[in-house]
Structure 1
Amino acid sequence: MSNTEKPILKQNVSLSENSEYVFDNISIATSAFLMLPAVIQTALEQAKRVVLIANNPAVTTTQLEVLLQPDDVLVLFNHFIHADFFAGHQLASLLPKLLFFRQIGDSDLHFGLPPRSNHVSVMEQMAENAPLGILTSNQSYQFPSLADDPNPDDDPITAQRILNVPSSMQKLLSSPIYHIVLSERHEVVADYPYFNDIHSSAPSSGFLLYRLILAARAYLYHIQKTERPLEIVMIGFNDNDETAHFWHGHNWAFERQEMSRPPKGVIVHRY
């Protein structure tokens, strides 16, 4: 396990009060942008900030009301927190959203989609109110059944869970305008130190999407030639072990080291 490749982004000496960010490989930056659903590409071209929100129970809707702004694009993960807030709040419901659903090992399942715990009914509502894009890791959504779940006891059935995807969401998941497959080993994480002795070792969902958005904003900055790149806001991405999702197959030390020194234009709110 090594980390021998240079970081993807570097910060040049600024010629003005706003530091200029240069991408070492514009083809990777372009690839990152094109890995986003078309509906999210359009939203980013018009946005001022991208806000990534971790599944951290310490993040409250009151805090989100203070932090969110009308020109934001939101990024949510798996079985995301505060679903009703994002679907029904006066501001949050109108913001474009990118949802990321991670493949569960080598199975046909993704965290946050049927037959596992999910917010499918809320996703329908989200899609009615604002642009909604979906990324699934490694493979497209397979519309699996309960019989396809290799570990059904990990996520017991509840009365609230939706087991079948309604037709409106099937259309989104079947369209490249709204849904794209993202490899967990995309070039934006080519320098990631995997654990070779741990099956499915990969970057955490938050880190993978952070790197993808970081590269995508470099592409936008390159083609739009704006005064400054999109701002990236990270909410609830803590650097301690207080949350319950620190799987040992993610290299947390590597991720925390990078996030301890975020580049200019990246703001981290920890709780």
Structure 2
Amino acid sequence: MTIPFTDLFYDNPVSHDTNNKTSELNLNDCNNTDISVLAYKSLPATIQKALLSQNRLVIIANNPSITIETLEQTLQPTDIVVLFNDFIHADFFATHALAKTLPKLLFFRQIGDSRLHFGLPPRSNNLIAIEQMAQHAALGIFLSNISYQFPTPTDDPKPNDDPISEDRVLSIAHDLKVIFDSSEHCRVLSEQHPVVADYPSFADIHSSAPTSGFLMYRLLLAARQPVQCLQRTNNPQKRTAPVEILLLGFNDDDKTAHFWEGHNWAFERQELAAPPIGVEIIRQY
């Protein structure tokens, strides 16, 4: 029987030195589970800070049916935007009057066991837009499983999967490299993080693990509890509500053009069919 995520507890949380004094308040004095504190401390420090002032996390799937008009109607000044890999509408998030001012959390998934991550050189990427993002708002980066290795095209085990074009950025500029090397901005997130310890992976499929979107959803869902505690600690007179989560473009199976058999889609869809209070799903077809 599957153990509900809300019933999971862990006795030995792993802590990180975030160099963020605001987040080092007495979380132990709050009614937090070990897993919620671990989830919060797993986040880049820039996003930990942003969560204390923003009201909503908008997790955006790489769904081509999401239009700029939809984004303009959806995004609010108190949002944090979460994007994945070689994300859609990069110019919009980098230059739009509102979107460029919103804190952003970018997730880049490791490609199998290689030195590569989707959305980073030498694969297709939005590096120019990411450089612009970093100039306008707080930026946090997650890399799945391993830190970025700054690989070259010769490190790509399957270059024909993503042929290099003339406009491909093949190396990371110095200013952006500083961000990737900074623990304040950039962290490694294991695909086997405790927030998905109950995930039924497939033993016969190598690298079977949660989808990037589900992993990030679980992590941020757990991190909301310490955020609320810290907000109350910082401003005891103000009534605080949990940070809201909006999932945009997370489709049903039969409406999705591609889904890898190593993800347990049935498990994920079943959980998202009945989201908890404070979580909204807007599907795009």
Matched residue type, 2:206: H
Superposed displacement of residue 25, structure 1: 6.3
1:14-66 Cα shifts (integer Å, max 9, x gaps): xxxxxxxxx99611111111111111110111110000000001110100100
> Which residue does 2:268 correspond to in 1?
255
Deviates more, 1:71-80 or 1:244-253: 244-253
Aligned residues, how many? 257
- Aligned AA for 1:7? F
Q: Is the 8 A contact 2:52 2:230 kept in 1?
A: no
The runs of 5 or more residues in structure 1 that have no matched partner are: 11-22
2:179 aligned with 1:177: no
Which amino acid counterpart does residue 256 of structure 1 have in structure 2? R
User: Percent of aligned pairs with the same residue?
Assistant: 58
Alpha-carbon distance in 2 for matches of 1:82, 1:34: 29
Aligned residue identity for 1:156? P
TM-score between the two structures when normalised by the length of structure 2 = 0.87
- Give the secondary structure class of the aligned counterpart of 1:8: helix
**TM-score, normalized by length of structure 1?**
0.91
Structure 2: how far apart are the matches of 1:60 and 1:160?
Answer: 23
Runs of 4+ in 1 over 4 A off after TM superposition: none
Structure 2 residues without counterparts, runs of 5 or longer: 9-29, 233-238
| Contact 1:8-1:25 within 8 A present in 2 as well | no
The equivalent of 2:11 in structure 1 is none
Which residue of the other structure, out of 241, 251, 265, is the alignment partner of 2:278?
265
User: Counterpart of 1:75 in structure 2: which amino acid?
Assistant: V
CA shift, 1:228, in A, is: 1.8
Contact 2:5 2:195 in 1 (8 A): no
Aligned to 1:242: 255
Pick one of 242, 249, 257 that aligns with 1:229.
242
Matched residue, 2:166: 159
Task: Give yes or no for contact 1:9–1:24 (8 Å, CA) kept in 2.
Answer: no
Map 1:30-69 → 2, pairs under 5 A: 30-69=37-76
Match of 1:194 among 196, 201, 205: 201
SS in 1 for 2:255: coil
The letter for the 2-side match of 1:170 is: K
Deviations 1:117-151 (A, max 9, x none): 00011100000011111000000000001111000
The 1:78–1:9 alpha-carbon spacing in structure 2 relative to 1, beyond 3 Å, is: farther
Equivalent in the alignment of 2:89: 82
For residues 255 and 127 of structure 1, what CA distance do their matches in structure 2 show? 32
Partner of 2:79: 72
Aligned residue number for residue 132 of structure 1? 139
Contact 1:8 1:188 in 2 (8 A): no
